[in-house]
Amino acid sequence: MKTSSSHAPNHRLLVLILAASGGAAVLGWGLNARSASSAARTAPSPVALLAAIPSPSGTPTPTQAEIQKWKAKAQQSPENPTHWLNLGDALMQAARESANHQYYDGAEKAYQQTLALAPQKSDAMTGLAWVSGGRHQFPESIAWAQKALVLNPSDSAAYGLIGDAQIEQGAYKEALVSYQKMLDIRPDLSSYSRGAQVLYLLGDTRKAMWLMTKAIKAGGAHSENTAWCNAKLAEMLLGEGAVLPAENLLKDAQKVSPNSYAVLTGLGQLKMAKGLYPEAIALYEKAVTLAPQHAGLVALGDLYSLTKQEAKAEETFALVERLHEEHKKLGSQDELYMARFFAEHSHQLPRALALAEAHREAKNAVAADTVAWCFYKNDKLPDAKAAIDRALGAATPDSPVLFHAGMIYAKLGERETAKRYLYKALSRNPYFRVADAQLAAETLQALGSTAPPIPEGGVALASGKSQ
Amino acid sequence: MLATSRRQQPLAVLLASSLALGAGFLVPQQAQASSHSDAPLSKLDPQTNLTDVYAFIRTRPGGERVLVCEVSVRPFSEPGDGVLYDAFASDARYSIHITNPTTGGEIQRYDFQFSPVSSAAGAYKNLDTILRYGRGTAVGPIQDVGDVRQNFTQTYSVTRVMGSTSTRLNSTPLLVPPYNTGLATPFYNDMNGRAVSGAVNRMALDKYTFQTTYDLPAVGMGTGGGNTVFCGSREDGFYADTPGIFDLLNSRILGSTLGQAGGGVDGFKGFNVLHYAIVIPLSDLPSLPYTAAFSEGAANGVGVYASVSRPRITLLSTSGDPTPSGPFVQVNRLGNPLFNEVLVAMRDKDRYNRSAPTGDASFSTYALNPEVAVLINAVYGTSFATTGRADLQAVYIPDVIRVDTTTGAARVSGTAGFNRLGFIGGDTLTKSNGNSIPGGWPNGRRFGDDVVDIALTAVASGPTYATVTVVGDNIAANDQVYNQTFPYAATPHSGLRNSKDSGPNVGF
């Protein structure tokens, strides 16, 4: 990787990513949720714990102020479990806002400390479910949420986290049930937005958008929550090519939350769809500087590539890999993001294949789609077909899935099926990923540029039976 | 027995079903009904039931700019109909009208008339077989259109009418390709027996379509080339959850406050239509000023609509075959999508079909005060504007599809930049005055334009469009790939293998 010193955003990013790993590595926080009970027994003293929880730098946001407040309170009266619980929640909110996985460790410690002081405090169990979910440790997340529900059957957040994990595991129908319970207990932004997400994944885009609009209207405790819902709604609109309404929504959201990375990346995506690459780059640069997050970094790298800034693209892609190495050290299991990144960029394909093999049975539509694309890029067509058929079966109205299906069927020689999938990908959303949308249109052109081959059955019939 | 008679229902039954639903905008429907069935009378006369008009600007390979006009008729043609299959009515005149875009007044017209279908008068090679396709004087798959294995071949002629001057554009009868029966028509289909579509140039068309796409010599008119024409069976390029839309209480389309329950179902999946189409060089057309919807400044172009007419008197001869006689009377017309189907009330649907666009001011109230908005508000508690809808009036009155003829070629489905939502999705064209205009409907209409989503979104968002509320039917694509060359409509589904509706529009 070339030096990034001349490129301010990338330099800043590198610092952020390294800071994340530094804090954890120095203190040797290698624990995860699975060992929570033993962790509680061997936890460091409250003073050491608080010293280890990073104090955010830069302009303090309301969430950072919350962290400081609860840190101070915990220091004052470390025997009060509520202080630790609130500290955990504030750290998790910071994780949401910054996409920075380093907060997970601190949050986990705070929740564990809560349980050490008050073993029946179910909210801390829900907190640990939240941490595990953030790290993509889904069975652990479900286990913690279920423990919380035993103590508090009306814990709506626990049902939400179980639903989240079920979605990731591809159990959409079960997630619907979990979210329904959450909605019944507490109809609010959290439950509406989750309901919207699962409906979208099940192909019910219209109702999903309606429910997400309700989530936005309901509002949340943190402006980030509403900004996130706005960005998700815009993503759904863009997902079906509705550029104008998405633009209206994001511009309004930006006025309220100018520093939300979700809104910024949404706007970047919109500018990319309109072919306004320099404007998109500026937005993504700001977004990833605020929150070094996978999708934003990948899109930024793609934009650098599209604008022939190869060196910057290379640096940004190197940062993507670096980010995931750090995530791995922090206990996050989001390796399928990397698999998709490798496959989409035809980079490190043997690693992509290994990851696909490891997740061969993935049921979640996006995961199965990723696995399919990794197999395709490694010329494992029967495996690719099996995975993409599973992804299609989930009915997620996703142009990338349709595009991948088209390319896989084209390579399998099933020309008409391939054309239909490619056409559908472009019809649903012509802006899904610039390079891929272009390839879809080109492949459709190539497949439709020659007369159809003469079917053998027909010819045989003609020569054999005609009189 | 006519091949279509089994789908007909007595008028009384249709009206009764509409009364039972108690909602005036609902067209009388069978279980498998269509927005295509735009009036009680035309529903009972499927061969004259126009379903969709498409009109858009394209460029010929040599660079000549042209207006492509294509019309679908005969909804729900069953690919595997068997016995007789659908054909154009020989006693009807199928027309494409070019009009003043502001007044709707006809400037020129292209008439298509077809040869008889009856066994007495039709061009059959062999009356001692049950097969129309696959056995004429020989048995086997059809190798070329009209060959010895194609028992019945319908032919047609095209006439251009300007005022009192009629000009025949073809010197010899033009052939209609065979229906896609399956094995008897192998060049339509792939190894799996499914229709092949999505050609991007003329040479890539299937053999039958290629052989029946005719470049006619220029006869009079402007300085450009001649017309290109095609008539025959095509896949129905319209896609919509009409079963849901016309079942007012069906939450599949509009659940509580516009949410939907479940995915959409494409009611047209797996069906064919009959299709007549013409390519007109822009040098043959006027370019008249008008005010275009969703576009700043003046636009220049034409209006387009389609009609079907029958002779005023049909005498039955002693052999029982219909004999056309007398002047033509219009029995069906169609301009913009969804106007007569969704906006015009029951009392006026048949009157609409009998009248010309020049009198459409009398239908203005249906656009200005759309009942569909009233109904949605009543049932779902929304507050869409129900009066003063000048935005809808600009699109629908008079009911001709206005096409700006000063733009470059419209993007076609499957190519970069095409967006099924047209201007809502940022797909625009540039007029000669430098301003943008929608890339698809309501500036012309292309194959793949999602007219249901565009229209419902307009109803929900106008007249101010301060907030654009996307409303639609959850069907985002046709079930077949359109051609990217004339005829842009897709290859007809095979009678032997096709897939019908049901379920999310993802699988095949």
| Residue A254 covered by a domain | no
Q: Which residue in B has a C-alpha nearest to residue A451's C-alpha?
A: B204
The whole-angstrom separation of Cα B1 and Cα A19 is 82
Biggest alpha carbon distance in chain A?
101
Residue B151: pLDDT band (50, 70, 90) is very high
- According to the model, what pLDDT value does residue B326 have? 60
Instruction: Tell me which of A427, A429, A434 to substitute to probe the interface with B (most B C-beta atoms closer than 10 Å).
Output: A427
Contact A430 B419 (CB under 8 A): yes
Q: Which residue in B has a C-alpha nearest to residue A436's C-alpha?
A: B416
Of the candidates B168, B177, B45, B50, which has an alpha carbon nearest to the alpha carbon of residue B111?
Answer: B168
Q: Which ipTM score applies to this complex?
A: 0.82
Of the candidates B376, B374, B381, B434, which has an alpha carbon nearest to the alpha carbon of residue B404?
Answer: B434
Contact B196 A445 (CB under 8 A): no
Question: Which residues of A fall within a CB distance of 8 Å from B201?
Answer: 449
Looking at CA atoms only, how far is residue A403 from chain B in angstroms?
12
Interface of A with B in 300-319 (CB under 8 A): none
> If you average pLDDT over each of A52-56, A253-257, B249-253, B496-500, which comes out highest?
A253-257
Interface of A with B in 422-451 (CB under 8 A): 422-424, 426-428, 430, 437-438, 441, 444-445, 447-451
- According to the model, what pLDDT value does residue B7 have? 31
DSSP string, A337-358: HHHHHHHHTT-SHHHHHHHHHH
* CA torsion angle B35 B40 B46 B50 (round to 10): -50
Of A7-11, A176-180, B24-28, B306-310, where does mean pLDDT reach its minimum?
B24-28
Q: Which domain holds residue A216?
A: 13-246
Contact A457 B191 (CB under 8 A): yes
Amino acid at A384: A
How far is CA A408 from each of CA A24, A132, A370, B97, B299, rounded to the nearest angstrom? Answer: 42, 34, 13, 45, 45
Mean pLDDT of all residues belonging to chain B: 83
Contact A448 B484 (CB under 8 A): yes
B48: DSSP letter: G
| Residue A110 covered by a domain | yes
Picking from A203, A438, A456, the nearest residue to B191 by CB comes out as: A456
- According to the model, what pLDDT value does residue A18 have? 44
Of A268-277, B120-129, B226-235, where does mean pLDDT reach its minimum?
B120-129
- According to the model, what pLDDT value does residue B248 have? 60
A267-293, pLDDT tens digit by residue? 999 999 989 999 999 999 999 988 888
A266 in contact with B at a CB cutoff of 8 Å? no
Inter-chain Cβ pairs, chain A and chain B, closer than 8 A: 195
Of the candidates A23, A32, A7, which has an alpha carbon nearest to the alpha carbon of residue A56?
Answer: A23
| Residue A269 covered by a domain | no
In which residue ranges of chain A is pLDDT below 70? 1-44, 46-47, 49, 51-59, 397, 453-467
Q: Which two tokens stand for residue B459?
A: 């109803």
Q: Over 80: is that where the pLDDT of B258 sits?
A: no
Residue B318: pLDDT band (50, 70, 90) is low
Picking from A242, A444, A454, the nearest residue to B424 by CB comes out as: A242
pTM of the prediction?
0.83
Contact A422 B414 (CB under 8 A): yes
Contact A452 B423 (CB under 8 A): no
The whole-angstrom separation of Cα B390 and Cα B364 is 10
A34 in contact with B at a CB cutoff of 8 Å? no
Q: What is the CATH number of the domain that holds A204?
A: 1.25.40.10
| Residue A105 covered by a domain | yes
Question: Which residues of B fall within a CB distance of 8 Å from A445?
Answer: 200, 414-415, 484
Q: Please, which residues bridge with residue B402 across strands?
A: B303
Of A443-447, B124-128, B464-468, where does mean pLDDT reach its minimum?
B464-468
- According to the model, what pLDDT value does residue B314 have? 52
Of the candidates A194, A189, A235, A239, which has an alpha carbon nearest to the alpha carbon of residue A214?
Answer: A189
- According to the model, what pLDDT value does residue A13 have? 52
B266-302, pLDDT tens digit by residue? 778 889 999 999 999 999 999 999 999 999 889 999 9
Domain count, chain A: 1
3-class SS at B443?
coil
Contacts of A3 (CB under 8 A, 6+ apart): none
Q: Over 80: is that where the pLDDT of B310 sits?
A: yes
Contact B200 A243 (CB under 8 A): no
Residue B251: pLDDT band (50, 70, 90) is low
Question: Which residues of A fall within a CB distance of 8 Å from B149?
Answer: 466
| Residue A307 covered by a domain | no
- According to the model, what pLDDT value does residue A61 have? 80
The whole-angstrom separation of Cα B456 and Cα B468 is 11
Looking at CA atoms only, how far is residue A460 from chain B in angstroms?
10
Looking at CA atoms only, how far is residue A446 from chain B in angstroms?
8
* B372 vs A114, residue with greater confidence: A114
